[in-house]
Amino acid sequence: MKPKIDIGRCKDLSRKRFGRLTVKKPLSKRDGKVFWLCRCRCGRLTVVNGANLTSGKTRSCGCLQIEVLDDIIQKTRKRQDRTDTQLRRLEQ
């Protein structure tokens, strides 16, 4: 059995949610920073610095950024399609 990670004075974040991430357990401690094992809503496991969780800097495993970029691309395509349609009408 692995020894438990001593998180010292750091707040226990186990079972708390931050954005899409649910904190499972402390994984390691380096340079006074506690790194937590988290499960994202999409199902992936990821390791996150506790300070990034509590500050809101990290809210997902990366899937949120991909979804936001996909939305931007779709909106841009729709706008381009409307512009193309308007140009064709003007050319007729």
Range of the domain at 85: 17-91
- What letter does residue 30 receive in the DSSP assignment? E
Sheet arrangement for strand 45-49 = 17-18, 21-30, 33-40, 45-49
Whether the model clears a pTM of 0.75, i.e. scores above it, the answer is no
Residue 4 lies in a domain: no
Tally the domains of the chain: 1
- Average pLDDT on 53-79 reads 91
Q: Please, which pLDDT band fits residue 31 given cuts at 50, 70 and 90? A: confident
Amino acid at 19: G
With respect to residue 10, please indicate whether it lies within any of the assigned structural domains.
no
In a domain, 81, yes or no: yes
Does residue 48 lie within any of the structural domains? yes
| Residue 78 counted as domain residue | yes
Question: Beta-carbon neighbour count of residue 23 at 10 Å?
Answer: 19
Please check whether residue 6 lies inside any domain of the structure: no
With respect to residue 37, please indicate whether it lies within any of the assigned structural domains.
yes
Q: Specify whether the CB–CB gap between 71 and 30 falls below 8 A.
A: no
Q: Is the dihedral of CA 21, 27, 31, 32 positive or negative?
A: positive
Tell me, yes or no, whether 66 lies in a domain: yes
Q: Give the pair of three-digit tokens for residue 46.
A: 């990821």
